[in-house]
Chain A
Amino acid sequence: MSLSNLIDDWSRYRKGREEGGFHDYEHMWGMSIDLNKCIGCNACSVACYAENNLAVVGKEKFEKGQGMHWLRLERYWDEPDLGEERTTEFQQHGASFLPMMCQQCNAATCEPVCPVAATYHTPDGLNAQVYNRCIGSRYCSNNCPYRLRYFNFWSYYEDSWPAPLQMQLNPDISVRDKGVMEKCTFCVQRIRTVKDTARMEDRKVRDGEVQTACSQTCPTGAIEFGDMLGMYDPETGVAETKVTRMWRKHQVEFGKTKQNKQTPDMRGYRVFEFLNTDPCVMYLDRVREV
């Protein structure tokens, strides 16, 4: 991946959008997260730690903002704190949760600022981070509106996985050393394995064959993951994947900074879509009884 390739990829997407289409993606991985179903149990985050060899940095470093959680659960209070006398640390009602991972923006703001082209767009529509290339300038992190890139300020492998815990490391993904930026990859090692198998069996990747660690773990099935370009399934005769169906149902479309919805009841939205980052993750708004 030379610098000219990177700029080509970048401009190809921009041009494709202006002409009302996408460039020749092989797949385009996307996600749909139903916040109505999310119970804030943090299982997705734990699964991510286990799958992607994420370092546990400890309380002190976490408080300095050096946590390495690729998937974080953001907590909001959508009922006001009435200020009444409480016996608990937090108020009893009104918490809502939002799992936040890399949004795999199509027009990612992190990509053009990297001085060494360590982050680029793959033909799968993923926003890739190549650890070998990264020199740790942290421009990408500063340019990400979601703050979803995490920097290795230290070497964590000795403290985080003391023997024999190194045996639990996933061999399909490298352990990052200090000075390297990292972020959610949509579990690219799982995508790679499934694509390899499909290639060996001379077939296409089936819907639901790739599961990210978070969507596999979610006890309520709030996280759906799949190919946004649709895959024809000969068994059901359906040409669209679960994720595409969700996006269509909630009338969220790519390449828009504001969605035109027939009714305001449609719950789908993308975070910060007015910034024209064109994320691949759609959230379904939480509905509350008043």
Chain B
Amino acid sequence: MSVLQHLPPGRFIEAAGRGSRQTKHTVQVSFIVMLLMATMALFSANVNADVPNAVPPEGEYSGIHVEQPIEFPHDIHADVNEINCMYCHTYARRSKVAGIPPTSKCMGCHSIIATDKPRIQKLTEYWENKESPKWKKVHDVPDFVHFTHEKHIKRFVIDNEDLQVENVSEVCAFCHGEVKKMTVADKVKPLTMGFCQRCHQANDGPSDCWHCHK
């Protein structure tokens, strides 16, 4: 049984391609998953009902609002139109950083859709001037921290048989909050060491200093 069987056919082909080499590992993974589920049962108070096999980190943070060059509405994209987070943040499953999509990706839709809206006209202006909007970073961990999106997506999405890839935003929400209810993304989680560590301890993540500190 492949870990990626639950993926709908035709979606996330790259991710599925990577998964086909993992079949040998699957038995071990599902064993660990079962083991984790047993552990979860013990600490069921912490279990997030949406994402099985995962204890999300806890904590809230009222971060400062970062002004962006264009007030990007995450809610219209991710909530109303149900676009997957990883459609635009395509590097999240491939590299350390989730990445901000290039303007060409925006224009792929917005050369046709909603061209009469002022924000889209501003975007089109950037596109015609061959410039990128200078997006500001909201979720910034300190320079001495090594964090990879890739491994976290693998652990909680690709290797997680009980999570549909459509619901990836539930995993993203662990650290980024409910971005699909926001317009411009705000930092609503503390992203401190204790915040990371609580989740690492609950989900059997590495606790070695040099794993994350550089």
Contact = CB atoms under 8 A, between A and B. Distances in A.
A174 B214 contact: yes
A93 B214 CA distance: 43
A275 interface: no
Nearest to B26: A202
A15 B208 CA distance: 21
Contacts of A201: 18, 21
Nearest to B206: A123
A192 interface: yes
Given A123-B208, A126-B210, A174-B214, A131 B144 contact: yes
Given A1-B209, A174-B143, A196 B148 contact: yes
B198 to A, nearest CB: 15
Interface in B1-43: 18, 21-22, 24-25
- The interface size bin for chain A is 20 to 34
A97 interface: no
B181 interface: no
A188 B154 contact: no
B154 A192 contact: no
Contact of B213 (A132, A175, A196): A132
Interface in B28-69: none
Nearest to B150: A200
B146 interface: yes
Contacts of B154: 200
Interface string B129-173: 000000000000001101010110010000000000000000000
Contacts of B18: 200-201
Contact of A196 (B21, B151, B208): B151
Contacts of A189: 146, 214
Contacts of B21: 201-202
A1 B214 contact: no
A70 interface: no
Interface in A244-286: none
A91 interface: no
A126 B208 CA distance: 12
What are the 6 A-B residue pairs with the smallest beta carbon separation, nearest first? A174-B144, A128-B210, A130-B209, A202-B25, A1-B209, A122-B210
Given A188-B214, A189-B146, 9 more contacts: A1-B208, A124-B210, A126-B210, A128-B210, A132-B144, A172-B146, A174-B214, A188-B210, A196-B148
